[in-house]
């Protein structure tokens, strides 16, 4: 099997860093995109352990100019004069503004959440679409909190709204890329033990990412445009 090329956003910590670790461990070539590669000590360590297989590139997912710059940098990574080809794009970067109360939800939180969690993945996928191989996968890391059908309490509205928008972006991208057999899915990672997940989180990041990569590897064309959790269960929109 030819070497897989993966790109992970928000790769410097949390689930993104674990995606990088597990993709490297199975032999993939990985581009780890994050806001400040120079400060990403865990990634720099991994790069030292995996010479030639891990590249770190700067990316702010909220900034379309940063997407274009990343695309230009990827063009330089093509092997033996061939254009750079991407087999797996993991739109993982995300933000959660906690402590929101009805009556006090701010435009700033809503805007930042939308730009990071929905606009970013949609526009980045668009910007990199020409580099995706036929049959590639785009994994949008969403949340069960983006499910309208599964809505519980009034908890984190900026986050819920932005992840629901990401779910719609996933369905639209699946349609746009279907003729190239590119699968686009919305994936909930579970309540994972990261900075965002917080102290009460129950799921080790390694288990979450292992489950998500298994699901991605086994995706069938009919599952493109779907919404799944880390165990492969379909979630209600």
Q: Does 189 bind ligand NDP (CB under 6 A)?
A: yes
Q: Please give the Cα distance from 31 to 19 (Å, whole number).
A: 11
Residues 22, 62, 109, 158: which binds ligand NDP (CB under 6 A)?
62
Measured from the CB atom, the residue of 114 and 133 that comes closer to ligand NDP is 114
Stretch that binds ligand NDP, among 11-19, 70-78, 123-131, 175-183 (CB under 6 A): 11-19
Query: Which single residue is written with the structure tokens 């949609």?
Result: 122
Burial (CB < 10 A; 0-12, 13-18, 19+), residue 179, is exposed
CB of 73 to ligand NDP, least distance (A): 15
Measured from the CB atom, the residue of 110 and 178 that comes closer to ligand NDP is 110
Q: Does 34 bind ligand NDP (CB under 6 A)?
A: yes
Spatial strand order of the sheet with 183-188 comes to 54-58, 29-34, 5-9, 86-91, 132-141, 183-188, 227-229
Q: Does 143 bind ligand NDP (CB under 6 A)?
A: yes
Measured from the CB atom, the residue of 59 and 132 that comes closer to ligand NDP is 59
Residues 82, 179, 195, 199: which binds ligand NDP (CB under 6 A)?
195
Q: Does 147 bind ligand NDP (CB under 6 A)?
A: no
Q: Does 226 bind ligand NDP (CB under 6 A)?
A: no
Q: Which of 194, 203, 183, 161 is nearest to 10 (CA)?
A: 194
Q: Which of 81, 87, 175, 169 is nearest to 128 (CA)?
A: 87
H/E segment holding residue 44: helix 41-49
Residues 113, 160, 194, 224: which binds ligand NDP (CB under 6 A)?
194
Residues 178, 191, 219, 232: which binds ligand NDP (CB under 6 A)?
191
Q: Does 121 bind ligand NDP (CB under 6 A)?
A: no
Q: Please give the Cα distance from 58 to 61 (Å, whole number).
A: 10
Query: Which single residue is written with the structure tokens 């379309």?
Result: 64
Q: Please give the Cα distance from 76 to 66 (Å, whole number).
A: 16
Give residues 148-187 in contact with ligand NDP (rule: CB under 6 A). none
Do residues 173 and 153 lie in contact, with contact meaning Cβ atoms separated by under 8 Å? no
Residues 30, 31, 86, 95: which binds ligand NDP (CB under 6 A)?
95
Retrieve residue 75's tokens. Answer: 């063009």
Measured from the CB atom, the residue of 202 and 221 that comes closer to ligand NDP is 202
Query: Which single residue is written with the structure tokens 């668009």?
Result: 126
Q: Please give the Cα distance from 25 to 41 (Å, whole number).
A: 18
Residues 6, 7, 8, 15: which binds ligand NDP (CB under 6 A)?
15
C-alpha Rg value of the chain to the nearest Å: 17
Residues that bind ligand NDP (CB under 6 A): 9-10, 12-16, 34-35, 59-62, 92-95, 116, 141, 143, 188-189, 191-192, 194-197, 201
């Amino acid at each position: 099997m030819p070497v897989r090329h993966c790109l992970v956003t928000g790769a410097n910590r949390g689930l993104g860093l674990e995606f990088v670790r597990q993709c490297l461990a199975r032999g993939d070539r990985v581009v780890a995109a994050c806001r400040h590669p120079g400060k990403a000590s865990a990634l720099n360590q991994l790069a030292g352990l995996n010479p030639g297989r891990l590249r770190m590139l700067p990316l702010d997912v909220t900034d379309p100019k940063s997407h274009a710059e990343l695309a230009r940098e990827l063009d330089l990574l093509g092997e033996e004069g061939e254009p750079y080809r991407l087999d797996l794009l993991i739109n993982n970067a995300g933000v959660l503004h906690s402590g929101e109360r009805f009556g006090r939800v701010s435009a700033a939180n809503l805007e930042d959440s939308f730009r990071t969690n929905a606009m970013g993945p949609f526009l980045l996928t668009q910007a990199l679409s020409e580099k995706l191989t036929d049959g590639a996968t785009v994994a949008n890391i969403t949340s069960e909190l983006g499910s309208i059908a599964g809505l519980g309490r009034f908890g984190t509205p900026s986050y819920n709204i932005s992840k629901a928008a990401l779910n719609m972006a996933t369905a639209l991208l699946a349609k746009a890329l279907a003729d190239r057999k590119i699968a686009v899915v919305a994936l909930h990672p579970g309540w994972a033990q990261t900075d965002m997940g917080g102290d009460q989180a129950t799921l080790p990041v390694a288990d979450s990412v292992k489950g998500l990569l298994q699901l991605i590897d086994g995706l069938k064309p009919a599952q493109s445009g779907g919404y799944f959790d880390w165990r492969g269960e379909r979630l209600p929109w």
